[in-house]
Amino acid sequence: MSILIDESTKVLVQGITGRDGSFHTKKMLEYGTQIVSGVTPGKGGHKIEGVPVFDTVKEAVEKTGADTSILFVPAKFAVDALYEACDAGIKLIIAISEGIPVLDMVRIVAFLNDRGTSLIGPNSPGIISPGKSKVGILPGQIFKQGSIGVISRSGTLTYEVVHHITNAGLGESTCMGIGGDPIIGLKFIDCLELFKKDKETEGVVLVGEIGGTDEEESAAYIKERFTKPVVAFIAGLTAPPGKRMGHAGAIASRGTGTAAEKIRAFESAGIPVAGEPEDIVKLLKSV
């Protein structure tokens, strides 16, 4: 079992004819992902890597049965692309796009929630269920099918964490990068709820970073309602206050959102926090 995606997931690529869209379409197909269609307005009738391209998401869904969409669309067009995917009946959207304005995201998240569409991102590397499906830009070769769920706000840091989990022989059930923007779709707690129900997931690694309060809220949720072992890692321990570190949402200000506060929240909830990514496996085996 996996969460959100598996072998039966039918993927539509919005922005498939662009440089990134076409490149990662090829990589996803090579991994075994079932990509059934692509969308680029004005490019209908073309094919990319054998995948038919349509002018609209509605037409692509009607003709290919796509249920999941991934966006390789510039920020200025991503807002419309998100609304279009939802209106066409897509139930899971993965937004690789970054730089979408915060106010637009506030409206989009509310719109999607009202219609029962799940969003991963924006500014996300995607999601992968090893050996089943990959929807995103995650390097498939570092993943191995296993029992550890991974939820992360950081893309590249996720790869290092997964490298250690895979090398230890534990492997991953599903790994998802939820994005580093201030306003995102699925948050830590939403993902934990999904892993809670997944019988194949025996433990979870949560990779957070400075900024916001999602880590503190998830610590409280884990303490009260999550029974599987959880290990955390927080990036940005040495970040100066008021300085944004990498992601738009990774900024600690007014005494909140610091790494120290997040670590304290996890430890208070009985959740071990790794000092370095390589310590995660040791902690997983001890909890």
Residue 218 confidence class, pLDDT cut points 50, 70, 90: very high
β-pair partners for 204: 149, 230
Query: Does pLDDT of 249 surpass 90?
Result: no
Task: Report helix, strand or coil for 226.
Answer: coil
| pLDDT score, position 256 | 56
Domain spans in the chain, listed from the N-terminal domain onward: 11-120, 139-286
Query: Does pLDDT of 73 surpass 90?
Result: yes
Which of 118, 122, 130 lies closest to 191, judged by CA?
A: 118
Topology of the domain covering 11-120: Rossmann fold (3.40.50)
C-alpha dist (Å) from residue 13 to 104, 137, 185: 21, 12, 19
Joined tokens for residue 83:
């609304």
pTM: 0.93
Rounded-to-integer distance, Cα 212 and Cα 37, Å: 36
**Average pLDDT score over residue span 269-283:** 96
Query: Does pLDDT of 236 surpass 80?
Result: no
Task: Give Cα 42 distance to the centre of its chain.
Answer: 29
Residue 65 confidence class, pLDDT cut points 50, 70, 90: very high
* Beta pairing class for 230-235 and 203-209: parallel
Rounded-to-integer distance, Cα 66 and Cα 9, Å: 8
Rounded-to-integer distance, Cα 138 and Cα 63, Å: 28
What letter does residue 273 receive in the DSSP assignment?
B
- Any residues with CB less than 8 A from the CB of 67 and at least 6 apart, and which? 9, 10, 90, 91, 92
**Average pLDDT score over residue span 81-97:** 98
Topology of the domain covering 139-286: Rossmann fold (3.40.50)
Average pLDDT for the chain: 93
Q: Do domains 11-120 and 139-286 have the same CATH topology?
A: yes
Q: Report, as residue numbers or ranges, the catalytic residues.
A: 247
Q: What is the pLDDT of residues 150-180, one digit of tens each?
A: 999 988 889 999 999 999 999 999 999 999 8
Q: Residue type for 112, please?
A: L
Rounded-to-integer distance, Cα 286 and Cα 202, Å: 13
